[in-house]
A and B are shown apart, each in its own frame.
Chain A
Amino acid sequence: MRIELQRRSEVSRLFSLVSPLLALVLTLFFGGIMFWTLGKNPFDALYSFFIEPLLEVWSLHELAIKAAPLILIGVGLSICYRSNNWNIGAEGQFTIGAITGSILPVLYPEWHSPMILPLMLVMGMIGGALYAGIPALLKTRFNTNEILTSLMLVYIAQLYLDWLVRGPWRDPQGYNFPQTKAFVPEAVLPEVLDSGRAHLAIVFAIVVAVAIWFMMRFMLKGFEVTVLGQSERAGRFAGFSARRMVWFSMLLSGALAGLAGISEVSGSIGHVQPSISPGYGFTAIIVAFLGRLNPLGIIASGFVLALTYLGGEAAQLSIGISDKVSRVFQGLLLFFVLSCDTLIHYRLRLVRHPAPGGAHA
């Protein structure tokens, strides 16, 4: 007996909605088994991992703080992936955006002006976009694989940040800690509500997601992204340029990752230090796929993945499970999302006897 795939004549609307949910359920199920093998009560563990963080106001704020960079980066990546440009170096663009955005508050710590924050955000976006421009240039000019180059640039960006904060940018009065001076209050992203720490980044994230959704749904550019992603040839007949799309998608996603980077440094950390991200740039890849590459879906999936970070911290405190569990959850989730997506395009059929000459797995 084996499973056979039968292509659906059209995309299943039902499974487009059901498949991410099914993936979530499967992840929870296997996560429960994992907790059980670790010797914990799976229900208690899942409760403290996924429910407890939602019960307190302060932790809802933390959720928004963690969801913001994931949504910003994930939305940018969705444009890349839809147009077949595999930018997986968002972590590097995030890092460089954080660095270029921090130039003003670090080098001119005496400058108190309401102008500083908007300038920082713009410079962060420019930095991230330029850094994503490197793989775009290499792809369009030298035909180089953007997957490998964008990823190599992540390591380079992280080493550069490390050098900066241990060398030229280190606070001389910082007791030799590898970090810069704390930003002046004018350079800190303001909080949204009085009840907690969540800052403007989550507002940026939702505005950006809605704007990109509008572009994809109602503007020619969105159509161009989809057509070029599905068939470059068809896109050429429509007069679209795949080369320009490389630039557009990479610069856009780089700018958004850069915005996420400077927002994180300015809003959540308040200075620059060697480690500024728990892997947001990579987790955002999962966010993009779980949201089915749809900006509105990405808002929801951004919160789900943010919950895995928070749940990891909570579970570490309450039931003594390592916070590495969150990485496992994230990986499992992406796996199940990708396998459930098959149901959207194919019908599964159980076949009792192998057909002659057919391939079996």
Chain B
Amino acid sequence: MLEAILLTVITAATPLVIAALGELVTERAGVLNLGVEGMMIMGAVMAFGATQVTGSPYVGILAGIAAGAVFSLLFGILTLTLVANQVATGLALTILGLGLSGQIGESFVGQPGIKLQPLPIPFLSDIPLLGPLLFRQDLIFYLSVVLVVGIHWFLFRSRTGLKVRAIGDNHASAHALGINVIRARYFAVMFGGACAGLAGAQLSLVYTPQWVENMTAGRGWIALALVVFASWRPLRVLAGGYLFGAVTIGQLHAQALGIGIPSQFLSALPYVATIVVLIIISHNRRTTLINTPASLGKPFVPER
């Protein structure tokens, strides 16, 4: 029983962790992309479609990643090259993504999907409790763990990561040092898009292997909140993601048990939790200021 519940928590947390990690890198480079929800749903619909056509969920994963990355490129062109307002453009990305995915996925509605199968790791998967939880998982879960560690290493231990953080904290100085701010930001935005696409693929291939319109149900926005919650640190994203996964699954189990609280109130819990967490994290103005990348959301036009 405990094992089953923990497994569902992990499955619910994985897309949040992945999407939040991608957005974390984007924001570390000083770009606020509010289009996570849109990129995620595009990843979900393309992953589902590609899987249906080819029969292989692995092709689906690639399609999801590609969809997220290409879609984020639109955001990049608008905000980085054309210096459009980042908040408004992110909203546009979400609105367009929700509409386009509904249009693309119309014929997928009701089709049974193909679930991404677990890849047990030899020996490790035989450990009691931990084995089934951590080592008998699907590829996307393993990727999420690799991403957490990899991004932490990249940002805080590598030279390029240092440059990314420099760009996010002061793009004018970074530019003066000869760093190509715009190009780096394009990469950061597309990395965020690819991660959001992968997170979407997880939803339509693992979490609920089918296509439902608007199936992201605000997870892209929760991922954005997670980045703030994690104060832009990858390891904390992992913790926050699992906390939210636990809330989501906890309320589902409470609904199944029928404890006398209306189901709508329980369904609202993850959203209430997001607000509460944001309050706790943001109320100290000084720590927020220290943690937030200083150039976040500010446009940059190179002087020459």
Chain A interfacial positions (CB closer than 8 Å to B): 3, 5, 7, 81, 86, 88, 138, 142-145, 147-149, 151-153, 155-156, 159-160, 162-163, 166-167, 282, 285-286, 289, 322, 324-332, 334-335, 338-339, 341-342, 345-346, 355, 357-361
Contact = CB atoms under 8 A, between A and B. Distances in A.
Contacts of B84: 338-339, 341-342
B217 to A, nearest CB: 8
Interface stretch (B116-124, B153-161, B268-276): B268-276
A138 B81 contact: no
A357 B302 CA distance: 10
30 contacts: A86-B87, A142-B282, A143-B285, A144-B278, A144-B279, A144-B282, A144-B283, A148-B278, A152-B221, A152-B225, A152-B274, A152-B275, A153-B271, A153-B275, A155-B268, A156-B271, A160-B264, A327-B99, A327-B103, A329-B99, A335-B96, A338-B78, A338-B82, A339-B78, A339-B84, A346-B83, A359-B180, A360-B183, A361-B80, A361-B183
A334 B103 contact: no
Contact of B221 (A86, A148, A326): A148
Contacts of B81: 3, 5, 361
Nearest to A151: B221
Contacts of A282: 95
Contact of B181 (A152, A328, A329, A359): A359
Contact of A148 (B85, B224, B262): B224
Contacts of B34: 147
B74 interface: yes
Contacts of B89: 335, 338
B112 interface: no
B43 interface: no
Nearest to B178: A357
A159 B274 contact: no
B262 to A, nearest CB: 5
Interface in B137-171: none
Given A147-B87, A346-B83, A335 B74 contact: yes
B221 to A, nearest CB: 5
A142 B272 CA distance: 16
Contacts of A86: 87
Given A142-B282, A148-B224, A334-B92, A163 B100 contact: no
Max chain B C-beta neighbours (<10 A), residue from A326, A335, A346 = A335
B88 interface: yes
Given A152-B225, A359-B302, A361-B81, 10 more contacts: A81-B88, A149-B278, A152-B221, A167-B262, A285-B88, A289-B88, A327-B102, A338-B85, A346-B83, A357-B304
A142 to B, nearest CB: 4
B78 A148 contact: no
A350 to B, nearest CB: 13
- Label chain A's interface by main secondary structure: helix
A138 B276 CA distance: 10
A328 B99 contact: yes
B288 interface: yes
Interface in B88-112: 88-89, 91-92, 95-100, 102-103, 106
A77 to B, nearest CB: 11
Given A148-B278, A149-B275, A328 B100 contact: yes
A357 B283 CA distance: 42
B182 interface: yes
B302 A322 contact: no
A361 B85 CA distance: 17
A142 B78 contact: no
B228 A148 contact: yes
B301 interface: yes
Contact of A334 (B80, B91, B178): B91
A163 B268 CA distance: 11
Contacts of A151: 218, 221
A145 B103 contact: no
Max chain A C-beta neighbours (<10 A), residue from B95, B103, B285, B288 = B95
Nearest to B102: A324
Contacts of B217: 155
Nearest to B179: A359
Contact of B82 (A166, A324, A342): A342
Contact of A163 (B178, B262, B272): B262
Interface string B42-55: 00000000000000
Contacts of B80: 361
A159 B268 contact: yes
Contacts of B304: 355, 357-358
A155 B103 contact: no
Contacts of B88: 81, 285, 289, 334, 338
Nearest to A161: B264
B166 to A, nearest CB: 15
B99 A331 contact: yes
Given A144-B282, A338-B89, A358-B302, A322 B106 contact: yes
Nearest to A343: B82
A286 to B, nearest CB: 7
A327 B83 contact: no
B186 interface: yes
Contact of A143 (B106, B178, B282): B282
A249 to B, nearest CB: 15
B268 A328 contact: no
Contacts of B302: 358-359
A357 B224 CA distance: 34
B179 to A, nearest CB: 9
Closest 4 CB pairs of A and B: A327-B99, A331-B96, A163-B264, A334-B92
Contacts of A327: 95, 98-100, 102-103
Nearest to B217: A155
B218 A155 contact: yes
A155 B271 contact: yes
Contacts of B98: 327, 331
Contacts of A142: 279, 282-283
A332 B103 CA distance: 13
